Amino acid sequence: MRRRHLLGSLLLAPLLTACFASQGGEEDSSGDADSGSRLRVALAFPPAENLSPYGADATILSRLGVTEGLTALDANGAATPALARSWRRENDRTWLFTLREATFQDGSEVTPAAVAAALTHATEARPAPAALSGVTLTAEADGGTGVRVTTGAPDPVLPLRLSSPSLAVLSAKAYSGKGRVDPAGTATGPFELTKTVGSTSAALDRYDDYWGGRAQASGVDVRFIADGTARASALRTGETDIAEAVPVAQAATLDENTRKETATTRTTSLLLNAASGPFGNPELRAAARRAVDTSALAQGVYEGHADPGAGVYGPAVTWAEGKRQQPRRAKAGDPDGARITLATYDNRPELPEVAQVLKQQLEKAGFRVTLEVREYSRLESDALKGRFDAVVLARNTLVDTGDPLAVLAGDYTCDGGFNIAQLCDQNVDRAVRKAETIADPGERQAAALAAEAAILGTDAVVPLVHQRVITGAGTSVSGVLLDPYERTLVGAGTRR
């Protein structure tokens, strides 16, 4: 099969040059794995959904090396083999994936029937995983090594879609509970989830029969530390080996040998509730957008570790630069003291400061602003239900599938599963749906930018900054996976 040519033609994500190792056997897992120490990792986001693979917790599992899908993403944003060693497109709607030899952490084999069942469970999940937003698919076994996946409509980026952490493949045992999916001991990655203590900590042990080679670390001890200063302090004092999402304000306190900055596709945006409240009026949304000074946020709050907001896609998405289309926007109205509630979360420590600066900027423009800050797990449900007028959110625009259209469909269409802006605009829906039908990479990118312009024209989203992520790693630690898509962190080759 001409896989490399096919994947090259489907390369719809940016060429990124961050240090990033791909999954499984492509990592360096040489050496005496039996002598590996346990890794201590501090994560910013505690589980919000009992570690269900179908929601926000999916990336926790993938970042810790617990779960895998049929495919993964390489540093350039192309689909690369994971549990599937190869694939080919049989027709517009059907793909055949050939599995590698692998086992689940409960000892059962990764068979075509097991994979098909796992994908079927994902299609039946409610709410649907973001990677399946607007997509219907069926999966069935084909012989001893094949899985045939058929989509309701042509899906030229299916190999990218199946790389989503929310489409991880688990064994039949994971689905035996009443409505709950349990990833403990049922995944395929180099580390097996063995214990969780609420939203405080988790323990993982090495899975010795991992198809990609036995991990160098004997296990991973995880603490969920929402406070960014506390995460940085834990690294400085040697209490943890790896600390994710080190706050910008703490970057200078870390030795430069332990501080690693990675360009990412994460954009921090101001999302305005377009369905109700003051921002149901497009002229007031336009007034809010005009009030925002993004340069002050990038240089002030982020101390130069971010770029001013340019669009849904930031400068890391190199194909978007210089090709953006000018959006058509409503005329700005007079806020006239309109009361709004602005919400954000403190798991990413810059966000409360961003919200505070925005509060000042919006008040200067004539709004009266109440600020609400919570932990993310206590914020998401209300945000999705439209209970705030505005939300400051940091979102990786390529995290769900690697396809740049996924975030547009999931976040800004009428049926989007992560539509915090509550946007339902027929022009936007048409532009996104049109782009999703296009297979040619250049034409698809141009259509994505047209859809981006339609979305920006509603002023339901105001891009604020495009972030770089700072990860702290002890000087004795090697093999940390600094992933521009923020899907991976610890893998088979990570050790101390």
Domain boundaries, the chain: 3-224, 264-468
**Residues of the chain with pLDDT > 90: what percent?**
71
Residue 348 and residue 379 in contact, taking contact as beta carbons nearer than 8 Å: no
Alpha-carbon distance 494 to 39, whole Å? 8
Q: How far is CA 271 from the centre of its chain?
A: 17
**Residues of the chain with pLDDT > 70: what percent?**
92
Residue 460 and residue 274 in contact, taking contact as beta carbons nearer than 8 Å: yes
The secondary structure of residue 113, as a DSSP letter, is H
More confident residue, 21 or 364: 364
Specify the pLDDT at position 406: 85
Mean pLDDT over 176-187 rounds to 88
Confidence class of residue 318 from pLDDT cuts 50, 70 and 90?
A: confident
Q: Is the pLDDT of residue 243 over 60?
A: yes
Spell out the residues 6+ positions from residue 159 whose beta carbon is closer than 8 angstroms to its own.
7, 10, 70, 71, 79, 87, 95
- Lowest average pLDDT, out of 79-88, 189-198, 398-407, goes to 398-407
Helices (H), 43-133: 58-63, 112-124
Specify the pLDDT at position 437: 85
Mean pLDDT over 280-294 rounds to 98
Mean pLDDT over 470-495 rounds to 94
Angle, helices 426-436 vs 404-412, to 10°: value is 150
Mean pLDDT over 466-478 rounds to 93
Mean pLDDT over 27-50 rounds to 74
Mean pLDDT over 98-106 rounds to 98
Residue 411 and residue 397 in contact, taking contact as beta carbons nearer than 8 Å: no
Mean pLDDT over 324-350 rounds to 94
Dihedral sign (CA 398, 400, 403, 405): negative
Specify the pLDDT at position 35: 52
Nearest to 154 by CA among 444, 380, 356, 400: 444
* Residues 382-395 pLDDT 10s: 999 999 999 999 99
Specify the pLDDT at position 24: 39
Burial of 328 per CB tally in 10 Å (0-12, 13-18, 19+): exposed
Spell out the residues 6+ positions from residue 227 whose beta carbon is closer than 8 angstroms to its own.
346, 349
Rounded to 5°, angle at Cα 93 from 89 and 96: 40
b/e 55-72 (16+ beta carbons within 10 angstroms → b): bbbbbbbbbbbbbbbbbb
Q: Is the pLDDT of residue 30 over 70?
A: no
Task: Give CA torsion, residues 475, 478, 480, 481, to 10 deg.
Answer: 140
Domain 264-468 has CATH 3.10.105.10: yes
Q: How far is CA 326 from the centre of its chain?
A: 27
Q: Is the pLDDT of residue 23 over 70?
A: no
Q: Is the pLDDT of residue 123 over 90?
A: yes
Alpha-carbon distance 469 to 248, whole Å? 9
Specify the pLDDT at position 2: 33
- Lowest average pLDDT, out of 76-85, 99-108, 338-347, 348-357, goes to 76-85
Specify the pLDDT at position 91: 95
Q: Is the pLDDT of residue 496 over 70?
A: yes
Domain at 3-224, CATH from 3.30.300.30, 3.40.50.300, 3.40.190.10, 1.50.10.10:
3.40.190.10
Burial of 356 per CB tally in 10 Å (0-12, 13-18, 19+): middle
Mean pLDDT over 299-317 rounds to 89
Q: Where are the beta strands (DSSP E) in 124-243?
A: 137-142, 146-151, 191-197, 201-206, 219-224, 242-243
Dihedral sign (CA 350, 48, 401, 449): negative
Listed ranges 1-10, 53-62, 169-178, 206-215; the one with the highest mean pLDDT: 206-215
Nearest to 167 by CA among 272, 197, 155: 155
Any idea how long the chain is? 496
Q: Which two tokens stand for residue 28?
A: 């360096």
- Lowest average pLDDT, out of 34-43, 361-370, 415-424, goes to 34-43
For 435: left if phi > 0, alpha if psi spans -120 to 50, otherwise beta; the answer is alpha
Alpha-carbon distance 151 to 138, whole Å? 6
- Lowest average pLDDT, out of 4-13, 68-77, 238-247, goes to 4-13
Q: Where are the beta strands (DSSP E) in 251-365?
A: 259-272, 306-308, 339-345
Helices (H), 191-325: 228-236, 248-251, 282-291, 294-296
Specify the pLDDT at position 265: 83
Specify the pLDDT at position 156: 87
Specify the pLDDT at position 31: 42
